[in-house]
Amino acid sequence: MGFFTRSKQNISPDSQKREVPDGQWVKCKECEEIIHVKQLELHSWVCHKCGYHFRIGSEEYIQLLFDKGTFKESNKKMRSVDPLGFVDTKKYSDRISASIKKTGLNDAVRTGIGKIDGNKVSFACMDFKFIGGSMGSVVGEKIARAIDKAYDQKIPMIIISQSGGARMMEAALSLMQMVKTSSRLARLADAKIPYISVLTDPTTGGTTASYAMLGDVNIAEPTALIGFAGPRVIKETIGRDLPEGFQRSEFLEEHGFIDLIVERKDMKEKLSHLIGYMT
Amino acid sequence: MNSNTLDFEKPINELEKKIEEMKEYEDNLDIREEIEKLEEKVITLKKNVFKNLTRWQRVQLARHPERPYTLDYIYLMTEDFIELHGDRTYRDDKAIIGGFAKIDEYKVMIIGQQKGRDTKSNVLRNFGMANPEGYRKALRLMKLAEKFNKPVITLIDTPGAYPGLEAEQNGQAEAIARNLLEMSRLKVPIIVVIIGEGASGGALGIGVGDRILMLENTWYSVISPESCSSILWRSWDYKEQAAEALKLTAEDLLELKIIDRIIPEPLGGAHKDHKLMAVTLKEVLKEELENLVKVKPEKMLQNRIEKFGKMGAYTE
Ligand SMILES: [Zn+2]
């Protein structure tokens, strides 16, 4: 469930910018095309040449999916309190402060209510850039509350996942967030309120093994890494190389765990249509 | 000395061996008094050693190869056990076992991870590491229990869900996620007991319930100390520190309000006296069942969701 398995691929536009001198150009990881950031934004942060989906965060997804000006964020100030006083090579409390400073976010998920083509939905979107998108108490609590909002207001729930799994520095408390969120989804399901899960690169560990896999419809972005165990752990366990495309969106669709793969530019329209069928 | 002996158990086991030897000569020599003195000494020694266990030592005890496993508890504390196999979809996962059993007057569904005792049985049981079909079998049996209104008891003892190629292909994450959702709305009482290792999602996959209990010398966390060490310290050498940082013992989890109760083990650990351990657990389970069957199902489900809803720490 570690979040340190981040690979060199799919580096966020932010960090790739630094590699290019004037900061306005980024290089596509797949085809090495040099793209201007304005052009990239215009194409939903997808390479116009090869279709590679750059990793983006909650801010970009909110911009992509919601009708302009309709999204209202909740529980913005919620923060972790380092319940265990966890120290490894660094203090967890220092990691949190550093991440808050670096990302401008308070934790790895943002939640709120907004409109998608006029449909009111409760929404949660994770941010990988905040401690690997790891799920601790704050992520669990905010997602649980967002599900409760969907339940109380009888509006669809949409969660965009992007996470290395449960947050180690909150140990068993992180693990329990898997139950906290899944049990709220059970209640939502009993009330016949739709839940759509969108899995983006990467979604692994305890996040996949809870809310990310529990959608009435599970959508993945193309070629996203999706799994329970990380590829390195599996490779070490079985002692051989993993097949091409293993644990990618297409592989999961093939094996029956993803309903459909949707390119980012079509995401809003697909979500909107699905909501239409399920309400 | 037994090769399974842990370092901190050595002085205890040496003394116990000495007592055994002396007992052989007891009839011929007048050494009754000496034996009694040594027996007292060994109890004091055990108490001292076990009073000051580190978290890592608890992890070692939880993994002790002579500890009672799920099947041992089933044989020692239940009657008329009928094992039920398979997930009705793919195959029978031998790392998780389950079936109907009687605990005195209570008819229950009992489900647990099963470890092996030697190479052959460990291969069969996959070291207690379940594949998706194991979690799906567990869920099928829980639904069966729900259909016939029987309480569910799960015994957790796993180093983790199996991180294999087929496991991923067959939806390890989906299987665990499904169990979390379904267990949180299962309309019969569920009692969860950590009897050994409670590693991460693999443990949690059968770990949602109304009462969460831990035996005294067990651990439960999001990751094993070794893996935590390798990821956060980037070395396998910090497992002791990782165990401390993770706060993974029964005492820690009771304090964090994640578990409801600690079940005491025989002095020296559960492996020292399987029978006594099983009797203790049986009495606790009966007490818990007696309380749970009185609660109305709707109330019970509401309590269950609220119980997990309270877990976590944050500020806003
Ligand atoms: Zn490209």
DSSP bridge partners of B109: B100, B152
- Interface probe, candidates A81, A106, A137, A182, chain B, greatest B C-beta count within 10 A: A182
Cβ-contact A58, A104 below 8 angstroms = no
Q: A212 and chain B: CB distance < 8 Å anywhere?
A: yes
- Strand pairing report for A72-74 and A109-116: antiparallel
Mean pLDDT of B52-69: 97
Return the pLDDT at B242: 97
Model confidence, pTM: 0.95
Query: Could you tell me if residue A248 is inside a domain?
Result: yes
Both tokens assigned to A183? 């049990």
Return the pLDDT at A13: 52
Supply the range of the domain harboring residue A116. Answer: 57-278
Going from the Cα of A31 to the center of ligand 1, the distance in angstroms, rounded, reads 4
Q: Which residues of B touch A80 (CB under 8 A)?
A: 313-315
Residue A115: burial class (beta carbons within 10 Å; 0-12, 13-18, 19+): middle
Q: Does pLDDT of B220 surpass 90?
A: yes
Q: How far apart are CA B210 and CA A216, in angstroms?
A: 26
Q: Does pLDDT of B1 surpass 60?
A: no
Going from the Cα of A205 to the center of ligand 1, the distance in angstroms, rounded, reads 28
Query: Across the interface, which of A177, A183, A247 has its CB nearest the CB of B305?
Result: A183
Mean pLDDT of B44-63: 95
Q: Mind listing the pLDDT tens digit of every residue in chain A (279 residues)?
A: 444 444 444 445 554 444 555 679 999 999 999 999 999 999 999 999 999 999 999 999 999 999 999 999 999 999 999 999 999 999 999 999 999 999 999 999 999 999 999 999 999 999 999 999 999 999 999 999 999 999 999 999 999 999 999 999 999 999 999 999 999 999 999 999 999 999 999 999 999 999 999 999 999 999 999 999 999 999 999 999 999 999 999 999 999 999 999 999 999 999 999 999 999
Return the pLDDT at A10: 45
Both tokens assigned to A62? 């909110």
Query: Could you tell me if residue A14 is inside a domain?
Result: no
Q: Which residues of B touch A167 (CB under 8 A)?
A: 222
Q: A60 and chain B: CB distance < 8 Å anywhere?
A: no
- Interface probe, candidates B143, B180, B255, chain A, greatest A C-beta count within 10 A: B180
Does residue A202 have a cis bond before it (omega within 30 degrees)?
A: yes
> Which distant-in-sequence residues (6+ apart) come within 8 Å of B194 by Cβ?
B156, B157, B203, B212, B213, B214, B215, B218, B219, B220, B250, B259
SS (H, E, C) chain A: CCCCCCCCCCCCHHHHHCCCCCCCEEECCCCCCEEEHHHHHHCCCECCCCCCECCCCHHHHHHHHCCCCCCEEECCCCEECCCCCCECCCEHHHHHHHHHHHHCCCCCEEEEEEEECCEEEEEEEECCCCHHHCECHHHHHHHHHHHHHHHHHCCCEEEEEEECCECHHHHHHHHHHHHHHHHHHHHHHHCCCCEEEEEEEEECHHHHCCHHHCCCEEEECCCCEECCCCHHHHHHHHCCCCCCCCCEHHHHHHCCCCCEECCHHHHHHHHHHHHHHHC
- CB-based contact A228 B161, cutoff 8 Å: yes
Place B30 in a pLDDT band, splitting at 50, 70 and 90: confident
Mean pLDDT of B173-197: 98
Query: Could you tell me if residue A31 is inside a domain?
Result: no
How many angstroms separate the Cα of B182 from the Cα of each of A20, A136, B139? 49, 22, 8
Number of domains present in the structure of chain A = 1
The ipTM assigned to this model is 0.96
Q: What is the pLDDT of residues A75-106, one digit of tens each?
A: 999 999 999 999 999 999 999 999 999 999 99
Mean pLDDT of B74-87: 98
Q: How far apart are CA B288 and CA B304, in angstroms?
A: 15
Return the pLDDT at B212: 98
Query: Could you tell me if residue A4 is inside a domain?
Result: no
How many angstroms separate the Cα of A171 from the Cα of each of A18, A97, B200? 34, 19, 9
* Crossing angle between the packed helical segments B172-183 and B132-147, to the nearest 10 degrees: 20
Return the pLDDT at A21: 57
Return the pLDDT at B31: 85
Return the pLDDT at B29: 76
Q: How far apart are CA B239 and CA B250, in angstroms?
A: 18
Q: A231 and chain B: CB distance < 8 Å anywhere?
A: no
Q: A244 and chain B: CB distance < 8 Å anywhere?
A: no
Q: What is the CATH number of the domain that holds A268?
A: 3.90.226.10
Looking at the complex, report in whole angstroms how far the Cα of residue B81 sits from the nearest Cα belonging to chain A.
30
Mark the residues whose beta carbon lies below 5 A from ion ligand 1: A 28, 30-31, 33, 47, 49-50, 52
Query: Could you tell me if residue A33 is inside a domain?
Result: no
Return the pLDDT at A22: 67
Query: Could you tell me if residue A19 is inside a domain?
Result: no
Query: Could you tell me if residue A45 is inside a domain?
Result: no
Going from the Cα of A64 to the center of ligand 1, the distance in angstroms, rounded, reads 20
Query: Could you tell me if residue A17 is inside a domain?
Result: no
Mean pLDDT of B270-276: 97
- CB-based contact A84 B165, cutoff 8 Å: no
Looking at the complex, report in whole angstroms how far the Cα of residue A208 sits from the nearest Cα belonging to chain B.
6
- Chain B CA closest to residue A1: B223
More confident residue, A80 or B32: A80
Looking at the complex, report in whole angstroms how far the Cα of residue A210 sits from the nearest Cα belonging to chain B.
4
Looking at the complex, report in whole angstroms how far the Cα of residue A122 sits from the nearest Cα belonging to chain B.
19
- CB-based contact B168 A246, cutoff 8 Å: yes
Return the pLDDT at B164: 96
How much is the mean pLDDT over chain B?
Answer: 96
- CB-based contact B313 A171, cutoff 8 Å: no
Going from the Cα of A12 to the center of ligand 1, the distance in angstroms, rounded, reads 14
Q: Which residues of B touch A106 (CB under 8 A)?
A: none
